[in-house]
Chain A
Amino acid sequence: MSDLLTLDALTLRAGERTLCDDLSLKIEQGQRWGVLGRNGAGKTTLLHALAGLSPPAQGCVALDGNDLAALTPRIIAQHIGLLLQDTSDALPSSVLETALLGRHPHARGRLFDNAEDLGTARGALARLGIEHLADRAVASLSGGERQRLALATLLVQAPRLLLLDEPSNHLDVGFQSPLVALLRSASEEGKSAALVMATHDINLAARLCDFIVLMVRDGETLIGGAEQILTSENLSRAYDCNIAVVEHNGRKLFYPC
């Protein structure tokens, strides 16, 4: 197993607040990580730092041993993809045009899309079950359809490391199992794929992730295997409310009480 992404003594701040302090960990290929914590705990900021979008206050993030700060955005985008919480659609665009944006990091020097680009984009739309919307205007989509489109665009980008900021946003409960299956297979295909997901849904993280970063407070983070971190005690402290666990059919379910 080789390290895909290495966080070395990473410190992140938002204004005066420390979100995480001296965080070091290695994300290896094939691993699935969940990032949990309260609203404003710094989940999104952490993902953006992992994508090289915002420089950390201290420490560094390295891709295959190379500091992200020294790599160009295009090189990073060929290896790391990020599902954002929000995208803008101030000016009109179609669903297929949006999915094709995912090819941008791989299409240097080509003005027009080729057959491979189109095939990849249509294939990704089909995997998300929205190929029938290909010619629709993005502005006419529902929130859930937009989320599926954003996931499809990420699949088109086909990064080795998938960073997902609230992937289950707007998606109805019926799509949750397909989503888990999709993310599981997306993080296993390719040469050396891995996944880091920030979510407010503890159960989704428990279902999909092998490792957890729990952002507790004041820069304190708990890192480790999902079994070890996802305990009633840890979660209750992180979310500042009582969280109970029940086991059902071999699955743990977490709920506030």
Chain B
Amino acid sequence: MIDTHPRRLFAVAALAATLAATLAGLTSLLSGSVAIDASDLLAYLDGSLPALETQVLADIRIPRTLAAFVTGAALALAGVLMQVLLRNPLADPYILGLSGGAAVGALVSITLGVGGWWLSGSAFSGALISVALVFGIASRAGGWSTTHLLLTGVVVSAGWGALINLLLATSASTSVQGMLFWLMGDLSQSHVGGPHVALLLLGALLSLRGARTLNVLVRGDLLAASLGVSVPHVRLALFFGASALTAMAVTTAGSIGFVGLVVPHMLRLLGARDHRLLIPFSLLVGGTLLVIADTLARTLLAPQQLPVGVITALIGVPSFIAILRSSPQR
């Protein structure tokens, strides 16, 4: 149990989580149709690896592993922030309808038969439209209360859901499989670059810096205000911060479910209720979970690739149940 001396357990657990993340990353780099072993990695570092293996590592495995880690970490962090913003344990990064907007954008571009930059661009635009919509409706109705915001998000999600079904029902059967992969979350087309990593790092640093404030805010707006938190400012920052992280994740890899909802809860059950612990561990564990899930998704039935969102749930559900059963109810 992580008790109330966060600093002491922080070091031990941080070491363990970092080790797990490193192992998962290495396994991901070494798994795939082209055989690459640990000595090849060292050879890659000093430039003596043959051209084919170098290309596989540099163009496929490293970017994909990085994309998986960054996406998983962003989703887990966005989940933590949304759960604080809405003060609701059922909140996840997609609860305000952002993934629905992104999905409609992506599906439209799949329907039109354009991919690559157009696909991510239209997904990102869809996400932005959804954020603007929820923000506009919630502020105009004077409804920055958690319940009002939550209801707005749920209704906007429902609207996007109807559009998604409409697009699926009317699309040519050849493009439906691509759409389903996108909807379930898929890292096979993913690339992350400097801006993605920078956004994640910025989000991580700012939330860690404000972790104490989040501990207070999660206990209620009034209590937080009476303890000196500028509640409206922090809530706005949470809304836009979580939205930016989610938009990045969704644009990179489609709507991968489960990570953002369950990683924070798993960690809370293990004792990391304090956001000073919860935020760094969510980043590490979320990233690691997605790297493992993606490695399995592309190796289990190779050469066929499975949607990674299915794997996250298949790993996540049993581990969550195990933790839930083993954690003492005090």
Task: Give the distance to chain B from A14, nearest Cβ to Cβ, in Å.
Answer: 16
B226 sits at the interface (CB 8 A): yes
Q: Which residues of B contact A227 (CB under 8 A)?
A: none
The answer to whether A102 and B276 have CB atoms under 8 Å apart is: no
Minimum CB–CB distance from B191 to chain A (whole Å) comes to 34
Closest chain B residue, CB of each to CB of A85: B222
CA distance A48 to B222 in the complex (A): 9
| A51, A77, A97, A110: the one within 8 Å of B4 (CB) | A97
Q: How far is the CA of A97 from the CA of B329 in the complex (A)?
A: 17
Complex interface: chain A residues within 8 A of B228 (CB): 72-78, 104-105
Q: Which of A51, A98, A111, A137 contacts B219 (CB 8 A)?
A: A98
Q: Name the residue of chain A whose CB is nearest to the CB of B7.
A: A112
A217 to B4, CA, bound (A): 48
Give B225-255 as 1s and 0s: 1 = Cβ < 8 Å from A's Cβ atoms: 1111111000000000000000000000000
Residue of B nearest to A109 (CB): B209
**Given the complex, which residues of A lie within 8 Å of B167, measured CB to CB?**
none
Whether B227 and A102, one on each chain, are in contact in the complex, defined by CB atoms closer than 8 angstroms, is: yes
Interfacial residues of chain B within 81-105, with CB under 8 A of chain A in the complex: 83, 87-89
Name the residue of chain A whose CB is nearest to the CB of B213: A104
Contacts of A221 in B (CB 8 A): none
Pair A90/B226 contact, Cβ less than 8 Å: no
With contact pairs A111-B276, A137-B330 given, residues A90 and B4 touching in the complex (Cβ less than 8 Å): no
* A135 interface contact, C-beta 8 A: yes
Are A73 and B230 in contact (CB-based, < 8 A)? yes
* A72-B230, A91-B89, A111-B211 known; A53+B216 contact, CB < 8 A: no
Instruction: Report yes or no: B225 in contact with A53, Cβ–Cβ below 8 A.
Output: yes
User: Is the CB–CB distance between B83 and A91 below 8 Å?
Assistant: yes
- Report if A91-B87 is in contact (Cβ < 8 Å); known contacts: A53-B226, A101-B215, A104-B212: yes
Given A104-B229, A135-B3, 7 more A-B residue pairs with CB atoms under 8 Å apart are: A53-B225, A73-B229, A82-B226, A84-B222, A92-B273, A101-B223, A136-B330
Q: Footprint of B on A, CB under 8 Å?
A: 48, 51, 53, 72-78, 80-82, 84, 86-94, 96-98, 100-102, 104-105, 107, 110-113, 118, 134-137, 140, 157
27 A-B contacts (beta carbon < 8 Å): A48-B222, A51-B226, A53-B226, A72-B230, A73-B225, A74-B230, A76-B228, A80-B226, A87-B219, A88-B219, A88-B223, A90-B88, A90-B89, A91-B87, A91-B273, A96-B4, A97-B4, A97-B215, A104-B213, A104-B215, A104-B216, A104-B227, A104-B229, A110-B212, A111-B209, A135-B3, A135-B330
Using a CB–CB distance below 8 Å, which chain B residues touch chain A? 3-4, 6-7, 83, 87-89, 208-209, 211-213, 215-216, 218-220, 222-223, 225-231, 268, 273-274, 276, 329-330
